[in-house]
Amino acid sequence: MTADRLKVLCLSQLPPSPPRFGAQARMHGLMTHLARDHDVTAVALVDGAFDPEECRRAMARYCEEVVLVPNPAATGGHGKRRLQLRSLASSRSFERLLYSAAALQPALDRVLRRRRFDVVNIEFPYLAHFDVRQAPPGMRPPALALDAHEVAYDLAGQIARSDGSLVRRIYGEINWRKLRTEERAAFRAVDGIYACSTADERRILADVPSASTAVIPNAADVEHYQPRPSDPPADGRTVLFFGLLSTVPNVDGIRFFVREIWPRIAARRPQARCRIIGARPHPSVLELAGPGVEVVGFVDDLRPHLAAAAALVVPLRVGSGTRLKIVEGMAMGKPIVSTTLGAEGIEAAPGRDILIADDPAGFAAAVLSLLEDPALGVRLGRAARELSVARYSWSAAASRLGGFYEQIIAAHGASTPSRSRRADGDAVTSGAP
């Protein structure tokens, strides 16, 4: 890192702060720590799921400027279904249509032409088709960095193949191929791509071998998430799952756990309790509540719930990227049982830092070992906490990201294009996508 402060524009399809679920937590963690050494401006879409003023206040604590652009397309229920039907008749993916708010390009034009930025950081591939290679007259346009939280088309393909509904499988098979075309175009359009894991980095390089890449892992605020004397002790019986309860990977994972794994645990440990925490629970998640199974919904502070749990479970069967729930649980010193996919990209040693199992019987046996041997949970939790502090703190991740910015800025300065390129391959100078 140099002593110079970089000017960074963060572009996102949702506000990074306050963080309520995984994608927000990654953006919030990186940007707040990045802002300690650099000047951060944010432009984000916002829809009815967020309180714009709450988001603006939270982001203003670390941003030089915050611009929130309403996204009328991001509606649930019937509005989402109509947009999905519209996408079937379009060459564009559902995600591309969902985030193509007409007001976003003019907002970007105003910000980029008023102040020069060293780098524009694009979250996910969905906004890479907007024209962001702009600067005030006579100044060099910014370099572009893409945060690949996941390989989106790979995840969409997994979901399309795993969904039990024939209609949804057909729709998913059509949509993920469009998303693949758009995401690969986004990879080619930017100067650098950073992934959450080496597995995702390999997937990106398989698509675009010439891409400049880095691995910036998901992390935790290890000062915030840590064992505290004021927290309740582990109760020896609670098994905890947390995450945004409207996403397909989380919904599929917790249904798999409650339906196929939990009965094996409850049969041997009738006093055991399963607690499910997270915002926006899908109806099929709410239906899981019953004897021994509690669906809590969103909580303001996760730490007391993590502290009281005997084990954290991550029974995911589809997904990409790395799971923040694991690194946050590790930071709290909790013993964790995960599937292989759930722990993908996290350098935790099975049996030392985490327990890994993929089939229902093996997963249940791993959870039962923690309920029946508290000392094992203490050993795993202590090792997990040490690993999180050493390798998975936001401060370390943000430092690596700053270094990656400097790398792609230097390469971009050596070969600045005369015209900007959109991620769909069309040369542009300005205007809406």
pLDDT, tens only, 247-287? 889 999 999 999 999 999 999 999 999 999 999 899 999 99
Write down the residue that tokens 């399963």 correspond to.
Answer: 274
Task: Specify the pTM.
Answer: 0.81
In terms of CATH, what superfamily is 7-219+393-428? Glycogen Phosphorylase B; (3.40.50.2000)
pLDDT at 218: 92
Residue bearing the bigger pLDDT, 340 or 418? 340
Does domain 238-391 fall under CATH 1.10.15.40? My reply is no
Q: Would the pLDDT of 379 be above 90?
A: yes
Strand ranges (DSSP E) for 320-419?
336-338, 355-356
Whether 429 shows a pLDDT value over 80: the answer reads no
Lowest mean pLDDT among 165-174, 302-311, 387-396: 165-174
Helix H segments across 247-321? Answer: 248-256, 262-268, 283-286, 303-308
Decide if 211 contacts 317 (C-beta within 8 A). Answer: no
Per-residue pLDDT band for 1 (boundaries 50, 70, 90) equals very low
Q: Where in the chain is the domain with CATH 3.40.50.2000?
A: 7-219+393-428, 238-391
Residue 49: is it exposed, middle or buried by C-beta count within 10 angstroms (0-12/13-18/19+)? middle
How large is the average pLDDT for residues 291-312?
96
